[in-house]
Amino acid sequence: MRTQVGIIGAGPAGLMLSHLLHLQGIESVVIESRTREEIESTIRAGVLEQGTMDLLHEVGLGRRMAAEGTLHHGFELAFNGTRHRIDLKDLTGHAISVYAQHEVIKDLVAARVAADAKIVFGVVETSLHNVDTETPSIRYQKDGEEHSVECDFVIGCDGSQGVSRQAIPENARKDYQRLYPFGWFGILVEAPPSSDELIYARHERGFALISTRSSTVQRMYFQCDPKDSVDNWSDDRIWHEMHARVDQSDGWKLTEGRIFQKNIVGMRSFVSSVMQHGRLFLAGDAAHIVPPTGAKGMNLAINDVRILADGLEQFYREGKEDFLTTYSETALKRIWRAEHFSWWMTSMLHQFQDASPFQQQMQLSELSYVTASRAAATALAENYVGKAATH
């Protein structure tokens, strides 16, 4: 099979890229190891920055998000038993939307399928070939048969465990990594929202987050041992822990409900630099990971492919490669800003086992500063909505 752009991975990056290229009249093929049902039901985070929302509207995919997502003009930071509001709209002029990643995926898949796009699900043994020539290709197996996609460019959107990054020789890239000694225990709960806005809580027992999915389904997390098992956590034990971490001295209490999903995610920061090798480009989690505290993962993926789509459009329309040549450099500015912000939020809000009483006071003083000073709150808010300046 022959196409212009071969895309590995049908996550937000791969599908959005394929959609953006289609709008420019550029052909692509997407291959994916999971099934359509799996990608449409895998639970991930759900915060869309203003820029991500704007793009979804621009490319004709904003209807369900506007109807079913919720617009948030602020969020709360809770510590020492008190909640403090960060007014995103007032501080930055922008807002965020809470709309689950797998809902974005459903919208993207529906749009691609409606345009007769080629998305091949359930592939195995994917490999990349000749990426340092002008005729790269992707090989894979499906239902026991060998297939090959011959293309002009290969775009690796296959996540941190995918094969694409490994196709860049080790001596041509540099990996930066930071592991955190904790994870997040996530639950989905059948209940009305406990709060109109997200609450990020710092507590001596560990971090907790109150988020939402709809008027009847809530998403909550609490810091846990990344090696713990969901089987060790009865519903009663979870509620006891959540109440201990988030209930406030003003009498505000979390609303309980039926827990219908539990999972544990590890936390790390990771950047692979560079994000290009010959005709291979990496986008999204294939090139970088952030801990979920800053809610940046999907937004970064979408930002990468927006830059790539411009570069590919310039290549096919004008025969020029200057946008593509500077892709890594352009994308990495935004990525490093988000890496720093996610690391900062994580460091400020979580309990580190070996933290000294001095470090605990540093955390509290920082939280007190970002909630008391308009200048400091603005720094946090502009990063959160995705409008922080970089050079």
Q: How far apart are CA 105 and CA 101, in angstroms?
A: 6
**187 near ligand PHB (CB under 6 A):** no
Q: How far, in Å, CA of 184 to CA of 109, rounded?
A: 28
For residues 219 to 258, the per-residue mask of contacts with ligand PHB, x marking binding by CB under 6 A and - elsewhere, is x---------------------------------------
Catalytic residues: 72, 200, 292, 296, 384
**Binding segment for ligand PHB among 45-53, 161-169, 232-240, 351-359 (CB under 6 A)?**
45-53
From the list 24-32, 42-50, 79-87, 151-159, the region that binds ligand PHB by CB under 6 A is 42-50
Cβ 36 to ligand PHB shortest distance, Å: 22
Name the one range near ligand PHB by CB under 6 A: 44-52, 61-69, 170-178, 361-369. Answer: 44-52
Contact 283, 304 (CB under 8 A): yes
Kindly state the number of chain residues that form the binding site for ligand PHB, as judged by CB under 6 A. 10
Report if residue 13 touches ligand PHB, rule: CB under 6 A.
no
Look at residue 296 and give its three-state secondary structure.
Answer: coil
Q: How many CB atoms lie within 10 A of CB 240?
A: 11
Interaction between residue 295 and ligand PHB (CB under 6 A): yes
Q: Could you say which of 50, 92, 126, 293 contacts ligand PHB (CB under 6 A)?
A: 293
Handedness of CA 381, 384, 385, 391 (dihedral sign): positive
What interhelical angle do 12-23 and 101-114 show, nearest 10?
A: 40
Strands 145-150 and 137-142: antiparallel
Q: What span, in angstroms and rounded, lies between the C-alpha atoms of 44 and 13?
A: 14
Minimum distance of ligand PHB from residue 177's CB (angstroms): 20
Closest residue to ligand PHB using C-beta atoms: 211
For residue 184, what is the enclosing H or E element? Answer: strand 174-190
Given 7, 21, 45, 246, the residue binding ligand PHB (CB under 6 A): 45
Q: CA 148 to CA 181: how far, in whole Å? A: 41
Binding residue for ligand PHB (CB under 6 A) from 47, 208, 287, 388?
47
Site for ligand PHB in 199-218 (CB under 6 A): 211
295 beta partners: none
> Pick from 5, 2, 46: which is nearest to 219 by CA?
46
List the interface residues with ligand PHB, window 66-85 (CB under 6 A): none
DSSP 145: E
According to the binding rule CB under 6 A, does residue 292 interact with ligand PHB?
yes
CB of 122 to ligand PHB, least distance (A): 27
| Chain residues 95-124 in contact with ligand PHB, contact rule CB under 6 A | 98
**Cβ of residue 213: shortest distance to ligand PHB, in angstroms?**
7
Q: What is the DSSP letter of 2?
A: B
Helix orientation angle between 327-349 and 357-372, rounded to the nearest 10 degrees: 110
Amino acid 149 reads: V
Phi, psi of 34, rounded to the nearest 5 degrees? -90, 175
| Complex with ligand PHB: residue 10 or 208, whichever CB lies closer | 208
Nearer to ligand PHB, 96 or 163 (CB): 96
Q: How far is the CB of 268 from ligand PHB (least distance, A)?
A: 15
CA distance 165 to 159: 9
Nearer to ligand PHB by Cβ, of 19 and 213: the residue is 213
Give residues in contact with ligand PHB (CB under 6 A).
Answer: 45-47, 98, 198, 211, 219, 292-293, 295
